Amino acid sequence: MIDFELDETLQGVRDMLHWFAESEVRPVALAADRAHAFPDAFLRKVKEMGISMGALSRAEDEQKQRKGPKTVNRVAAIASEELAWGDGAFMLSVPGPGLGGPPVQFLGTPEQKERFFTVFTKDAEARYGAYGLTEPGAGSDVASIRTTCRREGPDWILDGAKCFITNGGRAEWVVIFATSDPSRGREAHRAFVVEKGTPGFRVGKIEKKMGLRASETAELILEGCRVPDANALGTNEGFLGAMKTFDTTRPMVAAMAVGIGRAAIERSTQFARDSGLLKATSMRARLIADQLATAERKLEVARLLIWRASWMADEGKPNAREASMCKAYAAQSALEACTVAITAMGAAGCAGDSLVEKWFRDIKVFDIFEGTGQIQRIVISKRLLEGLKGF
């Protein structure tokens, strides 16, 4: 049975990361948003502290060698919430393999894991991995990807384009999903680790976004890109790797949304206290108090859904439905929380130097990336109605 109480170790992790988010991340968040990047020196400092995006990929292997309950995914969820409470764009900018880590972990050989993960520990520089699935014509419909792969001697030739790839422009390597035959759908999917500097592989435009501005989002172009067979992950398991990645990362993304929503509710509640709004007897004051309470309740529910999905992943239990549930619910709950915060604070919340205004811009994408809210509801319904005709 899942225990919703954090033990001493998990509480220690949470407290340490909250301190870092409050004392180091939050003070530079607005400046980074305006500059569209966090300073390199700041990111090197993050790496020196041992904070890594995607570290759970290696931690899973290490924990298999130890006795006791597995907590890797729960730690990742707790870390995601606390660091996103500091700043969501920062969470996505933390050095490490990022979303590229899980498919290497799930599909890679021991030699591939060693080769690709040690890139991030070889020196003091902040280094990144990335996950290349989304295309201009294939986002939610993963089976429709059109980036192609074909065998040519000992190598594979990749052609196509990927878009909206987090840290894609600065990544040391990107896990690229491609198809050997578009007519076969998901059965023909393959996954490859494409390293920086590979001939035929280049970075296109860097996106200018409404929210999460300090997080890099890139277009990637593959034109006759020659990838050695040693960089192919698995055999014909590309689609499986993509889906298993989502089952691991969707709870983390949901936790990020909760962190941002929680930050907005805390800030707007404090504003309401300091301004005397909650002492008023007007209908507006009562409405705001009710909206704040409702938003707080929904964020608490979202967190419990996240912890359940993460616990199931730690226990090796299938969690696709639960991962989609927490992702769909948390994204909507956090968006509602940020909207309530703006409503409560009025002009003060909309000002350009307000963190609440930034959080309001940041939160919308959480209902889009890692699978839209509509896709999450499809995943949930398919598992609820599994076996019925048409499902």
To the nearest 10 degrees (0 to 180), the angle between helices 72-86 and 8-20 is 20
Rounded to 5 degrees, φ, ψ at 177 are: -100, 130
Which residues carry out catalysis?
370
Sign of the CA dihedral with 228 first, then 194, 83, and 22 last: positive
Q: Spell out the long-range contacts of 56-61 with Cβ–Cβ below 8 A and sequence spacing 24 or more.
A: 56/101, 56/248, 57/97, 57/101, 57/102, 57/104, 57/105, 57/113, 57/117, 58/101, 58/105, 58/113, 58/117, 60/105, 61/105, 61/113
**Taking a C-beta distance cutoff of 8 angstroms, is the pair 242, 100 a contact?**
no
DSSP 24: I
Hunting for tokens 């889906």 — which residue is that? 243
Rounded Cα distance between 284 and 178, Å, is 54
d(CA 241, CA 20): 33
